[in-house]
Amino acid sequence: MKQANTLPSREVPAGTATETAIVSTADDDVVAVPLRHPWRWVVAAALALGLVALFSSLWSNPNIDHSTINNYLFHPRILGGIGLTLVLTVVSMLVSTLLGVLLAVMRLSKNPVMNAFAWLYVWVFRGTPLLIQIVFWGYLGLLYSQISLGVPFTDFTVFSVDTNALVPAFTAGLLAMTLNQAAYSAEIIRGGLLSVDTGQHEAAYSLGMSPAFALFRVVLPQAMRVIIPPMGNETISMLKNTSLLSVIAVLELYTVATQISSQNLRQVELLVVVSCWYLFLTTVLSVPQYYLERHYGRGNARQQAPTPLGRMLSALRKGKPHAESKGLQP
Protein backbone atom coordinates (compact mmCIF):
# COMPACT_ATOMS: atom_id res chain seq x y z
CA MET A 1 0.00 0.00 0.00
CA LYS A 2 1.46 3.34 -1.04
CA GLN A 3 1.78 5.86 1.74
CA ALA A 4 0.79 9.43 1.04
CA ASN A 5 3.61 11.92 1.33
CA THR A 6 3.08 14.98 3.44
CA LEU A 7 4.88 18.21 2.72
CA PRO A 8 5.82 20.77 5.33
CA SER A 9 3.67 23.83 5.04
CA ARG A 10 4.59 27.39 5.95
CA GLU A 11 2.26 29.96 7.38
CA VAL A 12 0.94 32.58 5.00
CA PRO A 13 -0.37 35.94 6.27
CA ALA A 14 -4.14 36.03 6.38
CA GLY A 15 -5.90 37.92 3.64
CA THR A 16 -3.21 37.44 0.99
CA ALA A 17 -3.85 36.15 -2.50
CA THR A 18 -1.54 33.18 -1.92
CA GLU A 19 -3.64 31.62 0.86
CA THR A 20 -4.10 27.92 0.11
CA ALA A 21 -4.93 24.73 1.92
CA ILE A 22 -2.57 21.84 1.08
CA VAL A 23 -4.24 18.44 0.69
CA SER A 24 -2.34 15.15 0.18
CA THR A 25 -3.91 12.50 -1.99
CA ALA A 26 -3.29 8.73 -2.24
CA ASP A 27 -1.32 9.05 -5.48
CA ASP A 28 1.28 11.34 -3.93
CA ASP A 29 -0.11 14.43 -5.73
CA VAL A 30 -0.42 17.64 -3.73
CA VAL A 31 -3.51 19.69 -4.55
CA ALA A 32 -3.61 23.34 -3.47
CA VAL A 33 -7.17 24.30 -2.65
CA PRO A 34 -7.79 28.06 -2.32
CA LEU A 35 -9.31 29.07 0.98
CA ARG A 36 -12.77 30.55 0.84
CA HIS A 37 -13.49 34.09 1.98
CA PRO A 38 -17.27 34.47 2.00
CA TRP A 39 -17.25 37.65 4.07
CA ARG A 40 -15.28 39.46 1.40
CA TRP A 41 -18.12 38.86 -1.03
CA VAL A 42 -20.68 39.90 1.56
CA VAL A 43 -18.89 43.21 2.21
CA ALA A 44 -18.36 43.79 -1.52
CA ALA A 45 -22.03 43.13 -2.23
CA ALA A 46 -23.10 45.50 0.56
CA LEU A 47 -20.84 48.27 -0.76
CA ALA A 48 -22.04 47.75 -4.34
CA LEU A 49 -25.67 47.82 -3.20
CA GLY A 50 -25.07 51.02 -1.26
CA LEU A 51 -23.45 52.72 -4.25
CA VAL A 52 -26.26 51.66 -6.57
CA ALA A 53 -28.83 52.98 -4.11
CA LEU A 54 -26.97 56.30 -3.78
CA PHE A 55 -26.64 56.89 -7.53
CA SER A 56 -30.21 55.75 -8.09
CA SER A 57 -31.54 58.25 -5.56
CA LEU A 58 -29.51 61.05 -7.11
CA TRP A 59 -30.54 60.18 -10.66
CA SER A 60 -34.22 59.82 -9.81
CA ASN A 61 -34.29 63.04 -7.79
CA PRO A 62 -37.14 65.16 -9.17
CA ASN A 63 -35.23 68.36 -8.40
CA ILE A 64 -32.59 67.54 -11.04
CA ASP A 65 -33.32 68.46 -14.64
CA HIS A 66 -31.61 65.78 -16.70
CA SER A 67 -32.23 67.58 -19.98
CA THR A 68 -30.07 70.48 -18.78
CA ILE A 69 -27.22 68.08 -18.00
CA ASN A 70 -27.51 66.50 -21.44
CA ASN A 71 -27.64 69.87 -23.17
CA TYR A 72 -24.56 71.32 -21.48
CA LEU A 73 -22.36 68.23 -21.14
CA PHE A 74 -20.84 68.88 -24.59
CA HIS A 75 -21.82 72.52 -24.96
CA PRO A 76 -19.26 74.60 -26.92
CA ARG A 77 -18.75 76.98 -23.99
CA ILE A 78 -18.08 74.05 -21.65
CA LEU A 79 -15.64 72.50 -24.14
CA GLY A 80 -13.87 75.85 -24.47
CA GLY A 81 -13.50 76.01 -20.69
CA ILE A 82 -12.08 72.47 -20.69
CA GLY A 83 -9.49 73.46 -23.29
CA LEU A 84 -8.36 76.46 -21.25
CA THR A 85 -8.23 74.30 -18.11
CA LEU A 86 -5.95 71.80 -19.84
CA VAL A 87 -3.70 74.56 -21.18
CA LEU A 88 -3.34 76.06 -17.70
CA THR A 89 -2.61 72.65 -16.19
CA VAL A 90 -0.03 71.55 -18.76
CA VAL A 91 1.86 74.85 -18.98
CA SER A 92 1.86 75.38 -15.21
CA MET A 93 3.13 71.87 -14.50
CA LEU A 94 5.87 72.00 -17.15
CA VAL A 95 7.23 75.38 -16.08
CA SER A 96 6.85 74.68 -12.36
CA THR A 97 8.70 71.37 -12.74
CA LEU A 98 11.65 73.11 -14.38
CA LEU A 99 11.64 75.74 -11.65
CA GLY A 100 11.31 72.97 -9.07
CA VAL A 101 14.44 71.22 -10.34
CA LEU A 102 16.35 74.49 -10.18
CA LEU A 103 15.12 75.30 -6.68
CA ALA A 104 15.83 71.77 -5.45
CA VAL A 105 19.42 71.97 -6.71
CA MET A 106 19.77 75.37 -5.05
CA ARG A 107 18.45 73.95 -1.76
CA LEU A 108 21.07 71.20 -1.89
CA SER A 109 23.83 73.59 -2.92
CA LYS A 110 26.66 74.48 -0.54
CA ASN A 111 26.39 78.09 -1.68
CA PRO A 112 24.69 79.87 1.25
CA VAL A 113 23.16 82.59 -0.95
CA MET A 114 21.51 80.11 -3.34
CA ASN A 115 20.42 77.91 -0.46
CA ALA A 116 18.89 80.83 1.42
CA PHE A 117 17.08 82.13 -1.68
CA ALA A 118 15.56 78.73 -2.44
CA TRP A 119 14.51 78.26 1.19
CA LEU A 120 12.91 81.74 1.26
CA TYR A 121 11.04 81.06 -1.99
CA VAL A 122 9.61 77.77 -0.72
CA TRP A 123 8.75 79.35 2.63
CA VAL A 124 6.79 82.22 1.05
CA PHE A 125 4.89 80.38 -1.69
CA ARG A 126 4.20 77.25 0.32
CA GLY A 127 3.27 79.21 3.43
CA THR A 128 0.54 81.39 1.90
CA PRO A 129 -2.78 80.10 0.50
CA LEU A 130 -3.03 79.65 -3.25
CA LEU A 131 -6.25 81.67 -3.33
CA ILE A 132 -4.47 84.69 -1.85
CA GLN A 133 -1.68 84.40 -4.41
CA ILE A 134 -4.21 84.25 -7.24
CA VAL A 135 -5.98 87.37 -5.97
CA PHE A 136 -2.63 89.14 -5.51
CA TRP A 137 -1.54 88.53 -9.10
CA GLY A 138 -5.02 89.29 -10.41
CA TYR A 139 -5.04 92.70 -8.73
CA LEU A 140 -1.39 93.51 -9.31
CA GLY A 141 -2.49 96.64 -11.17
CA LEU A 142 -3.75 98.11 -7.91
CA LEU A 143 -0.23 97.90 -6.49
CA TYR A 144 1.72 98.87 -9.62
CA SER A 145 -0.20 100.80 -12.24
CA GLN A 146 2.80 100.78 -14.58
CA ILE A 147 5.59 98.24 -15.04
CA SER A 148 8.72 99.89 -16.36
CA LEU A 149 12.33 98.97 -17.04
CA GLY A 150 15.10 101.51 -16.55
CA VAL A 151 17.95 102.65 -14.37
CA PRO A 152 17.04 102.35 -10.66
CA PHE A 153 16.73 105.58 -8.64
CA THR A 154 16.69 107.70 -11.81
CA ASP A 155 14.04 108.94 -14.23
CA PHE A 156 15.61 107.09 -17.17
CA THR A 157 13.14 104.50 -18.51
CA VAL A 158 13.65 102.06 -21.36
CA PHE A 159 9.99 101.15 -21.66
CA SER A 160 6.83 101.39 -19.57
CA VAL A 161 3.58 99.48 -19.99
CA ASP A 162 0.25 99.36 -18.23
CA THR A 163 0.18 96.51 -15.70
CA ASN A 164 -3.33 95.34 -16.58
CA ALA A 165 -2.35 95.13 -20.25
CA LEU A 166 0.85 93.21 -19.50
CA VAL A 167 -0.70 90.89 -16.89
CA PRO A 168 -4.29 90.08 -17.91
CA ALA A 169 -6.41 87.60 -15.98
CA PHE A 170 -5.09 84.54 -17.83
CA THR A 171 -1.44 85.52 -17.32
CA ALA A 172 -2.09 86.35 -13.66
CA GLY A 173 -3.67 82.96 -13.09
CA LEU A 174 -0.85 81.20 -14.91
CA LEU A 175 1.77 83.02 -12.82
CA ALA A 176 0.01 82.22 -9.57
CA MET A 177 -0.43 78.52 -10.35
CA THR A 178 3.11 78.12 -11.68
CA LEU A 179 4.97 79.94 -8.91
CA ASN A 180 2.95 78.24 -6.20
CA GLN A 181 3.43 74.77 -7.66
CA ALA A 182 7.17 75.34 -8.12
CA ALA A 183 7.57 75.47 -4.33
CA TYR A 184 5.89 72.09 -3.87
CA SER A 185 7.70 70.56 -6.84
CA ALA A 186 11.02 71.72 -5.42
CA GLU A 187 10.43 69.86 -2.17
CA ILE A 188 9.28 66.72 -3.97
CA ILE A 189 12.31 66.74 -6.25
CA ARG A 190 14.65 67.49 -3.35
CA GLY A 191 13.25 64.49 -1.47
CA GLY A 192 13.76 62.32 -4.54
CA LEU A 193 17.36 63.45 -4.93
CA LEU A 194 18.08 62.76 -1.26
CA SER A 195 16.70 59.23 -1.66
CA VAL A 196 19.57 58.32 -4.02
CA ASP A 197 22.54 56.84 -2.19
CA THR A 198 25.59 59.07 -1.98
CA GLY A 199 27.65 56.26 -3.46
CA GLN A 200 26.00 56.99 -6.80
CA HIS A 201 27.42 60.52 -6.71
CA GLU A 202 30.87 59.25 -5.80
CA ALA A 203 30.79 56.61 -8.55
CA ALA A 204 29.80 59.22 -11.12
CA TYR A 205 32.54 61.62 -10.02
CA SER A 206 35.12 58.83 -10.08
CA LEU A 207 34.29 58.29 -13.75
CA GLY A 208 35.07 61.92 -14.48
CA MET A 209 31.50 63.16 -14.75
CA SER A 210 30.77 66.77 -13.92
CA PRO A 211 28.23 67.50 -11.15
CA ALA A 212 25.62 68.67 -13.68
CA PHE A 213 26.14 65.64 -15.93
CA ALA A 214 25.99 63.26 -12.97
CA LEU A 215 22.81 64.93 -11.76
CA PHE A 216 20.86 64.56 -15.00
CA ARG A 217 22.28 61.22 -16.19
CA VAL A 218 22.81 59.28 -12.96
CA VAL A 219 21.04 60.77 -9.94
CA LEU A 220 17.83 62.20 -11.37
CA PRO A 221 16.80 59.05 -13.33
CA GLN A 222 17.09 57.02 -10.12
CA ALA A 223 15.20 59.65 -8.14
CA MET A 224 12.29 59.57 -10.60
CA ARG A 225 10.96 56.43 -8.92
CA VAL A 226 10.33 58.53 -5.81
CA ILE A 227 9.37 61.73 -7.65
CA ILE A 228 6.76 60.45 -10.11
CA PRO A 229 3.95 59.37 -7.68
CA PRO A 230 3.69 62.68 -5.77
CA MET A 231 4.20 64.70 -8.95
CA GLY A 232 1.32 62.81 -10.54
CA ASN A 233 -0.84 63.72 -7.57
CA GLU A 234 0.25 67.35 -7.89
CA THR A 235 -0.75 67.33 -11.56
CA ILE A 236 -4.23 66.13 -10.69
CA SER A 237 -4.43 68.73 -7.91
CA MET A 238 -3.33 71.39 -10.37
CA LEU A 239 -6.15 70.43 -12.72
CA LYS A 240 -8.71 70.83 -9.95
CA ASN A 241 -7.12 73.98 -8.50
CA THR A 242 -7.68 75.82 -11.77
CA SER A 243 -11.27 76.24 -10.55
CA LEU A 244 -9.91 78.79 -8.04
CA LEU A 245 -9.16 81.11 -10.97
CA SER A 246 -12.86 81.92 -11.08
CA VAL A 247 -12.14 84.68 -8.51
CA ILE A 248 -10.25 86.66 -11.20
CA ALA A 249 -12.64 85.68 -14.03
CA VAL A 250 -10.38 83.32 -15.97
CA LEU A 251 -12.74 81.44 -18.31
CA GLU A 252 -11.77 77.93 -17.29
CA LEU A 253 -14.28 75.09 -16.83
CA TYR A 254 -15.78 76.07 -13.47
CA THR A 255 -15.97 79.78 -14.34
CA VAL A 256 -17.86 79.05 -17.56
CA ALA A 257 -20.25 76.72 -15.74
CA THR A 258 -20.86 79.38 -13.10
CA GLN A 259 -21.66 81.98 -15.74
CA ILE A 260 -24.11 79.62 -17.44
CA SER A 261 -25.82 78.68 -14.17
CA SER A 262 -26.23 82.35 -13.26
CA GLN A 263 -28.26 82.76 -16.44
CA ASN A 264 -30.47 79.66 -16.36
CA LEU A 265 -30.49 79.20 -12.53
CA ARG A 266 -29.52 75.51 -12.86
CA GLN A 267 -26.62 75.49 -10.42
CA VAL A 268 -26.85 71.82 -9.41
CA GLU A 269 -27.10 70.57 -12.99
CA LEU A 270 -24.03 72.57 -14.07
CA LEU A 271 -22.13 71.32 -11.04
CA VAL A 272 -22.92 67.77 -12.17
CA VAL A 273 -21.57 68.60 -15.63
CA VAL A 274 -18.39 70.07 -14.17
CA SER A 275 -17.91 67.10 -11.84
CA CYS A 276 -18.27 64.63 -14.69
CA TRP A 277 -15.60 66.39 -16.71
CA TYR A 278 -13.20 66.69 -13.78
CA LEU A 279 -13.61 62.98 -13.05
CA PHE A 280 -12.95 62.14 -16.69
CA LEU A 281 -9.88 64.37 -16.95
CA THR A 282 -8.34 63.14 -13.70
CA THR A 283 -8.86 59.56 -14.87
CA VAL A 284 -7.10 60.32 -18.15
CA LEU A 285 -4.19 61.95 -16.30
CA SER A 286 -3.85 58.88 -14.08
CA VAL A 287 -2.99 56.68 -17.07
CA PRO A 288 0.41 58.23 -17.99
CA GLN A 289 1.27 58.43 -14.27
CA TYR A 290 0.71 54.66 -13.97
CA TYR A 291 2.98 53.83 -16.90
CA LEU A 292 5.66 56.30 -15.81
CA GLU A 293 5.72 54.65 -12.38
CA ARG A 294 6.16 51.25 -14.06
CA HIS A 295 8.92 52.58 -16.32
CA TYR A 296 11.03 54.10 -13.55
CA GLY A 297 10.26 51.29 -11.10
CA ARG A 298 11.67 48.53 -13.32
CA GLY A 299 14.81 48.07 -11.23
CA ASN A 300 12.95 48.00 -7.93
CA ALA A 301 11.12 44.68 -8.44
CA ARG A 302 12.18 41.37 -9.91
CA GLN A 303 8.97 41.05 -11.87
CA GLN A 304 6.41 43.79 -12.36
CA ALA A 305 2.73 43.07 -12.10
CA PRO A 306 0.95 42.94 -15.47
CA THR A 307 -0.89 46.02 -16.65
CA PRO A 308 -4.71 46.07 -16.67
CA LEU A 309 -4.63 45.58 -20.45
CA GLY A 310 -2.20 42.69 -20.04
CA ARG A 311 -4.42 41.04 -17.43
CA MET A 312 -7.41 41.40 -19.73
CA LEU A 313 -5.59 39.83 -22.68
CA SER A 314 -4.28 37.05 -20.44
CA ALA A 315 -7.80 36.30 -19.21
CA LEU A 316 -9.05 36.18 -22.80
CA ARG A 317 -6.26 33.79 -23.82
CA LYS A 318 -7.04 31.52 -20.88
CA GLY A 319 -10.74 31.49 -21.68
CA LYS A 320 -10.31 30.82 -25.39
CA PRO A 321 -9.24 27.11 -25.22
CA HIS A 322 -11.94 26.43 -22.63
CA ALA A 323 -14.58 27.92 -24.90
CA GLU A 324 -13.29 26.03 -27.92
CA SER A 325 -13.34 22.74 -25.99
CA LYS A 326 -17.06 23.20 -25.48
CA GLY A 327 -17.66 24.11 -29.07
CA LEU A 328 -18.34 27.75 -28.23
CA GLN A 329 -17.13 30.86 -29.95
CA PRO A 330 -14.26 32.61 -28.10
**pLDDT attached to residue 94:** 95
Q: Is the pLDDT of residue 180 over 50?
A: yes
pLDDT tens digits, 236-277? 999 999 999 999 989 999 999 999 999 988 899 999 999 999
Most confident of the following: 54-63, 188-197, 320-329: 188-197
Give residue 325's pLDDT.
45
Q: Residues 6 or more apart from 293 whose CB is under 8 A from it?
A: 225, 228, 229, 232
| Predicted local confidence at residue 329, as pLDDT | 47
Mean pLDDT of the chain: 83
Is the pLDDT higher at 311 or at 95? 95
Q: How confident is the model at residue 129, as a pLDDT?
A: 95
Query: What secondary structure letter does DSSP report for 53?
Result: H
Q: What is the pLDDT of residue 71?
A: 92
Q: Convert the pLDDT of each residue in 85-140 to its tens digit.
A: 999 999 999 999 999 999 999 998 889 999 999 999 999 999 999 999 999 999 98
**Distance, CA of 254 to CA of 258 (rounded, Å):** 6
What's the whole-model pTM score?
0.76
pLDDT value of residue 324: 47
- pLDDT tens, 148-176? 777 777 777 777 888 888 889 999 999 99
Residue 104: what pLDDT?
93
Confidence of residue 291 (pLDDT cuts 50, 70, 90): confident
- Residue of 72, 86, 63 whose CA lies nearest to 282: 86
Q: Identify the weakest region by mean pLDDT among 14-23, 53-62, 146-155.
A: 14-23
- pLDDT tens digits along 217-228: 888 888 888 899
pLDDT at 27: 59
Residue 50 and residue 301: Cα distance in Å, rounded? 37
What average pLDDT score do residues 142-150 get? Answer: 82
Q: Provide the residue count of the chain.
A: 330
Asked if 141 contacts 103 with a C-beta cutoff of 8 angstroms, the reply is no
Distance, C-alpha 21 to centroid of its chain: 40
